[in-house]
């Protein structure tokens, strides 16, 4: 971003109170580009539930994009979206009608997993740029069909694995790429929560569109197989995407286990899953996700023959050398200059913190990590459409993680070793 081309955001008192002093300092630094309306990318959003609203919030700070339409099954969701919009938009209940709008250039798909395929295909039929939420699609066949079609359409296709744009992740990747951890032979990922994942239903009176029984399934779609790939698709796929990027490879096979072990509440998707992937060169990758203990929360561990990296939540990471070879200050200096990360000794044991070096080309709008990564994704989507930056997190990476989700779920559900078939790479 060019600082000179930015106008200062006028911060409101309420946002200052909400975000606190640190955020105010960020706001002081942040600048918004003044882009004429006719140059903005005209976009529509399908699905304005939880994620759709976060996207609308992030787009307030992406002046390259103008939301001109939103679509949802439910009137109450379309109405909720008003609080996140700064101008009037057209509202639709049928996504095909929205996609037919002549002015539309791009679409964001933020609906349950089972809906992604037909929406993506309809958008590609209309030659639109697409930003689809993860995971790519509900089955391997659907993922393959999307990859085939999207590869033939000369449009930007991005998949929302925004956590990879986290500066901490970049720092970790560069430390590993430079060989400071040695040869990585094992990765362990965990994304655990302590909660049912069940959402409170709205009053059926405000949702006359569906029966109460349908309402439960549509609102709590993550708990039902008809719509969802469960914890593996919703949480695991983010980590699979990051791990593939770090290892520069996709899994070769998977074994796994899982069950509805804790929440005996009529759900169909497993509440406790564990998968183990084999990657090339003997690398083993484990992932666990459960809903009855959040001690580890989100954590990733990369085990190399020289050092181990352990993340804590998504914004902290530590490196533990195997021996004292990392104690000399030269090494720290070198890491600073070549990797975009600094490593600080914080205790007398082996633990050192990893700190991403601030990128002066990026000014984040807030100090909220979750907000910033989604914002960065949309900045990149817009820049790629405008031909100004290379697309990050495109079709190939999203496709790869989509297939990993399905081979993991097949291994877990069918109790069998599931292989990455050569045909998955053939398109």
| Site of interaction with ligand NAD (CB under 6 A) | 46-52, 71-74, 77, 95, 110-113, 115, 133-134, 160, 162, 221, 234
Closest of 278, 273, 283, 286 to residue 233, by C-alpha: 273
DSSP 201-240: PPPGGG-TTS-HHHHHHHHTGGG-TTT--HHIIIIIHHHH
The CB-of-153 to ligand NAD minimum distance in angstroms stands at 21
The CB-of-263 to ligand NAD minimum distance in angstroms stands at 18
Nearer to ligand NAD, 52 or 321 (CB): 52
The CB-of-201 to ligand NAD minimum distance in angstroms stands at 12
Position of minimal CB gap to ligand NAD: 49
The CB-of-230 to ligand NAD minimum distance in angstroms stands at 11
Nearer to ligand NAD, 159 or 407 (CB): 159
CA 273 – CA 236 distance, rounded (Å): 10
Nearer to ligand NAD, 166 or 339 (CB): 166
Contact, 227 vs 221, CB < 8 A?
yes
CA 377 – CA 234 distance, rounded (Å): 18
Tokens of 411: 């291994």
The CB-of-151 to ligand NAD minimum distance in angstroms stands at 22
Nearer to ligand NAD, 99 or 246 (CB): 99
Task: Give the residues across from 100 on adjacent strands.
Answer: none
Nearer to ligand NAD, 207 or 382 (CB): 207
Q: How many CB atoms neighbour CB 159 within 10 A?
A: 29
Burial class (CB in 10 A: 0-12, 13-18, 19+), 394: middle
Nearer to ligand NAD, 137 or 187 (CB): 137
The CB-of-162 to ligand NAD minimum distance in angstroms stands at 6
Closest of 70, 157, 162, 73 to residue 114, by C-alpha: 73
């Amino acid at each position: 971003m060019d600082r000179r081309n930015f106008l200062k955001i006028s911060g409101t008192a309420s946002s200052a109170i909400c975000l606190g002093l640190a955020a105010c300092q960020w706001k002081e630094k942040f600048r918004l580009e003044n882009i004429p309306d006719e140059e903005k990318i005209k976009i529509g959003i399908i699905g304005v539930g939880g994620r759709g609203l976060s996207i609308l919030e992030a787009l307030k700070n992406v002046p390259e994009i103008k939301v001109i339409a939103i679509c949802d099954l439910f009137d109450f969701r379309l109405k909720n979206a008003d609080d996140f919009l700064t101008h009037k938009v057209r509202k639709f209940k049928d996504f095909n009608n929205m996609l037919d709008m002549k002015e539309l250039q791009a679409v964001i798909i933020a609906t349950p997993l089972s809906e992604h395929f037909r929406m993506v295909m309809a958008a590609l039929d209309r030659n639109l740029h697409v930003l689809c939420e993860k995971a790519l699609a509900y089955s391997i066949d659907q993922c393959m069909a999307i990859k085939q079609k999207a590869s033939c359409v000369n449009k930007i296709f991005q998949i929302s694995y925004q956590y990879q744009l986290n500066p901490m992740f970049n720092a970790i990747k560069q430390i590993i790429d430079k060989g400071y951890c040695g040869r990585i032979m094992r990765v362990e990922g965990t994304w655990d929560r302590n909660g049912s994942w069940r959402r409170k239903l709205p009053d059926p009176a405000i949702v006359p569109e569906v029966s109460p029984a349908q309402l439960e399934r549509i609102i709590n779609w993550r708990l039902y197989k008809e719509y969802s790939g469960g914890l593996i698709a919703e949480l695991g796929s983010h980590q699979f995407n990051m791990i593939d990027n770090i290892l520069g490879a996709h899994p070769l096979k998977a074994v796994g286990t899982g069950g509805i072990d804790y929440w005996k509440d009529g759900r169909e998707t497993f509440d406790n899953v564990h998968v183990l992937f084999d990657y090339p060169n003997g690398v083993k990758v484990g992932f666990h996700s459960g809903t009855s203990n959040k001690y580890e929360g989100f954590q990733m561990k990369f085990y190399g023959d020289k050092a181990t990296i352990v993340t804590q939540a998504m914004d902290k990471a530590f490196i533990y050398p195997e021996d004292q070879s990392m104690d000399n200050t030269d090494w720290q200096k070198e890491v600073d200059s070549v990797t975009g990360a600094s490593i600080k000794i914080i205790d007398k044991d082996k633990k050192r913190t990893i700190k991403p070096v601030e990128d002066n080309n990026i000014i984040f709008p807030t100090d909220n990590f979750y907000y910033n990564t989604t914002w960065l994704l949309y900045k990149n989507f817009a820049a790629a459409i405008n031909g100004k930056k290379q697309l990050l997190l495109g079709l190939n990476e999203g496709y790869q993680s989509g297939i990993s989700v399905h081979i993991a779920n097949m291994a877990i559900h069918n109790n069998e070793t599931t292989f990455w078939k050569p045909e998955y790479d053939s398109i």
